[in-house]
Chain A
Amino acid sequence: GAGVSQSPSNKVTEKGKDVELRCDPISGHTALYWYRQRLGQGLEFLIYFQGNSAPDKSGLPSDRFSAERTGESVSTLTIQRTQQEDSAVYLCASSLLRFEQFFGPGTRLTVL
């Protein structure tokens, strides 16, 4: 069966531009997470969606970051007015409640 997919796999943008990253979770997985991983660093939690409940946005680093998810399907992470410090790999993961997280391959974002 299909795993978690993310697009684009790589994104190069200029400082100040907006970017939108997409995540397609595994069908039937109610939970969806976004993480950021800077080069050589650990995973930094950004946001968590669970079914139709209000998302947990406690990890978003600034109001330039936002994410949406419709039901239990696709999620998009939007970064407005990108800065160089936003350069990182953005990872999406989905899971059934409290069980193993399955990660997508990530989107490598480079802000010039």
Chain B
Amino acid sequence: RKEVEQDPGPFNVPEGATVAFNCTYSNSASQSFFWYRQDCRKEPKLLMSVYSSGNEDGRFTAQLNRASQYISLLIRDSKLSDSATYLCVVTRGGSYIPTFGRGTSLIVHP
């Protein structure tokens, strides 16, 4: 089993839709969790950190489920500009080396 797994998609949704991605991780000692966004042929950029209590930033909500070992990203009212690949990033406790998932592709169409 891979350390971090994501559904590669693509998720093809119309503007205004709500879409959710999950990311599962295998190591129960994982401590830090992030969602990054990567546009085509660009570098990854941090979208949001994922805290135990969950966090929200505008249209984006991230949640952590330690019992089931997954994190989620919810995007409400999708915009065309949300089209990108969303990378899940997990760091084990005691390690400084993050593990990146392969990403989930989102395509928002008019």
Contacts and interface: CB of A to CB of B under 8 A. Distances in A.
- The answer to whether A and B interact is yes
Interface of A: 31, 33, 35, 41-43, 45, 48, 50, 56, 58-59, 91, 97-98, 100-106
Nearest to B34: A100
B32 A98 contact: yes
B100 A42 contact: yes
B87 A97 contact: no
B98 interface: yes
Nearest to B48: A100
Interface residues of B, number: 18
B33 to A, nearest CB: 12
Contacts of B44: 43, 91, 101, 103
6 contacts: A41-B102, A43-B87, A56-B97, A98-B96, A103-B43, A106-B43
A52 to B, nearest CB: 15
A104 B49 CA distance: 19
B46 interface: yes
Contacts of B87: 42-43
A42 B101 contact: yes
